[in-house]
Amino acid sequence: MTITADHGYDDLPRLMSLMTGDEKHDFAATSTLDVLWVLYDRVLDVTPERAEATDRDRFLLSKGHGPMAYYAVLAAKGFVPEEWLPGFGSYDSPLGHHPDRVLVPGAEIGSGSLGHGLPLAVGSALGLRAQGLADPAVWVLIGDAELDEGSNHEAIAYAGAAGLDRLHTVVVDNASASHALPGGIAARFEAANWSTATVDERDHAALYEAFTAPHPGRPHAVVARVEPKNAR
């Protein structure tokens, strides 16, 4: 098994093309690619060598259906070997249609069921606070449709009230949520004492600026807008 970590962003389409298994959520994969790349390339303090370190940043993929972009980025950064990619979705592959944290190096949670990732991220941030670990950041990527789930609204309300300023949520907005909110997605977080930013998901400079914006005393939400799902 050979693991290399010398891939750049331009190599991601090739890595994704290696995954030829049945994938019914292909748009879910491509809509997250830029967020995942900017986070792993420029923001997250985690490497394959530090994947179990206590003081590592935690990234939780809640939008776990359609994980091809996630696997491609993990391969590009050396968490998983490239030769695993062609087996994606097969019976004996560790790379399933939903990531499994016990099979995929670097995966913090098993995911794919809508509405679980943000509450788990809140728990992770609380756990780190309880241990006195102030440096690790917790990041969670969710889809806008997950905001239809009541568990996420409870998590948003609690995190804002608790001032979990090491918690960061990225919402990939492809206009697939069933229940629109006055003022847009960011307004829901702002009402619960979150810091927010809304950017174009394909603009890496804007993503980086939004990801690294200061937000003392408050959790931070970045709404990353991508082309609507029904427009493809």
Q: What are the residues whose beta carbons fall under 8 Å from the beta carbon of 206, sequence distance 6 or more?
A: 199, 200
User: How many whole angstroms separate alpha carbon 62 and alpha carbon 113?
Assistant: 8
The pLDDT of residue 3: 55
The pLDDT of residue 1: 47
- Fill in the amino acid letter for 136: P
The pLDDT of residue 230: 62
Q: Mean pLDDT, consecutive 10-residue segments, the chain of 232 residues?
A: 69 91 64 96 96 96 90 96 93 93 96 88 97 97 91 96 98 78 85 97 97 98 87 54
Burial profile 216-231: b = 16 or more Cβ within 10 angstroms, e = fewer: eebbbbbbbbbeeeee
The pLDDT of residue 30: 83
> Residue 85 corresponds to which tokens in the numbers above?
């990619």
